[in-house]
Amino acid sequence: MFSFEVRERDLLGRIGRLETKSGRVETPLFLPVINPAKQVVPAADMKRLFGCDALITNAYILKKHSEDGPAKNGLHKFLDYDGTVMTDSGAYQILAYGQVESTPEEIIQYQEMIDTDIATILDIPTGWEISKEYADHTVSETLNRAKSLEALKTRQDIAWVGPVQGGRYLDLVSCSAREMAKLPFQIHALGSPTSVMEQYLFSLLLDMVLTAKIQLPPDRPFHLFGAGHPFMFSFAIALGCDLFDSAAYSIYAREDRYMTEYGTLRTSVLRYLPCSCPVCSNNSLKELLDMPKVDREESLTKHNLYVCFSEMKRIKQAISEGRLWEYLEMRAHGHPSLLQALKLLRKYDDYLEKNSPITKRSGIFFFSSVGLSRPEVVRHRKRLFDRYSDPSRRTTLVLLPPSQMEFYRKRREYRNLYEEIGLRVNGEISKIDICLYAAPFGITPVELHDVYPLSQCVAVYPPDDETVDYIKDQVVEYIGMQNYERIVVLYHANTWEEEMTKACDEAMSARGIYCKVIRMERGLNKNLLTNLASAISGID
């Protein structure tokens, strides 16, 4: 009754098809938290107003406060909702109050009784300000409860969630995920991330999510508990999170807080309604603020839901286009902590590159050195230095600046350059290697230039200082791998290219390799070709 199929991918993000006994839904998926005791927007309106195909509610709260309604009639009828329903187990209440008035066995039995679609074991959340000894206890006890599930459950049509604990202790997170991966869960989740997200510790969240993901089976969806603010959706999805849940949309509305894709504003500071959802289109700011408290709360709840669901659609579109990195980089500039976390993604370069698509439907945009961690750049670096070998022993390297990249996009012009140089160096063209140096890939042999995405890239020029340093390092490292006897570097004056030529000249001088630097004035004209031929021949 359960299946998960990945349809499209970008970075670690994926558009998937998840099927439960109540139907099929598409991931990434935002599940609004439904509190039957106080729900401003009824579950029945979630699908009608927002196209919400799945939601989450708390089995422990239902068991404690809803008498036998859900058990007698079934959870879907009780909520008046025919989509996919996930139930949490009461672990958050353990985190908040220290204990719950139920046992793991009772919670398993109750979730089966109410006919939920996706159920969660009653795990022990690690929390935040706790010792490593207690964190280790939460991992061990959660694992023990997870192992007992198979003997306790009686139904096979419910998907079960296996939570990963460990909190900020990454070695425990890794251990927890590794052991959970051995058990027959259909879905996994990261436990105890709420405090991390509330404090904007996105660098730690990055480590927690990827530490778990590396150990878990890639064919199982990954749920991030409590991630309900749209400004961080793209970040979490890029790390491989497929499911999200939160009650923030309702809590914020109760506190007169207005969600946007980049943060949250209190209604008291609003001067406009910067949104085109039905709530904001059909009401002026004054009308919204003048509403009775209960009506304003309902309107803000609906607005916040519209923002959450709209952001999910934008991210899916970015994945489909192969532009999730660009979208993520744009969103990351909305908060310093998010941008810092994106920069630290370089720690996981190899894992990200290994699990990202090799080709896409579109080219890429490169904005700054932050993009040096994107999989396409990392993949080019790895493959150039690990796999590429010159088909023949070429003794001379000609390095051309980025402004000449267009020159090589047509085979005829590319052939003409070889012919022009060949005529001037007595037919020794087979010994000449031509490479381009540019952001973001550093150095590219012309033979590889048409390989995706080397010529399907638009970069900001001039590049920032960190990117210039990266280009210099790549050029020097590439030259060090070859056996060139002579290097000729072309550059434009008064640009960052001068720094590259100086670094190249110094590195080659230290190795005793002849290096000639030629300044370009008007492109590859006849005079320049003559000077280039002389330099290749070793004539100063």
Task: Give the closest residue to 180 by CA, choosing from 160, 208, 207.
Answer: 160
- Preceding peptide of 163 cis, ω within 30°: no
The three-state secondary structure class of 38 is coil
The three-state secondary structure class of 120 is strand
Answer yes or no: 88 catalytic. Answer: yes
The neighbour count for residue 512, using CB atoms within 10 Å, is 6
DSSP symbols for 319-375: HHHT-HHHHHHHHHTT-HHHHHHHHGGGGGHHHHHHTS-S--SS-EEE-SGGGGGSH
Look up tokens 């994926």; give the residue.
Answer: 14
Which position among 88, 245, 349, 433 bears the catalytic label? Answer: 88
Rounded CA-CA distance 197/244 in Å is 13
Task: Give the closest residue to 230 by CA, choosing from 165, 312, 297, 155.
Answer: 312
Task: Give the closest residue to 338 by CA, choosing from 519, 240, 201.
Answer: 201
Contacts of 86 (CB under 8 A, 6+ apart): 31, 54, 55, 56, 57, 116, 117, 118, 119, 120, 161, 243, 245
Q: Which amino acid is at 299?
A: S
CB 452 within 8 A of CB 359: yes
Active-site amino acid positions: 88
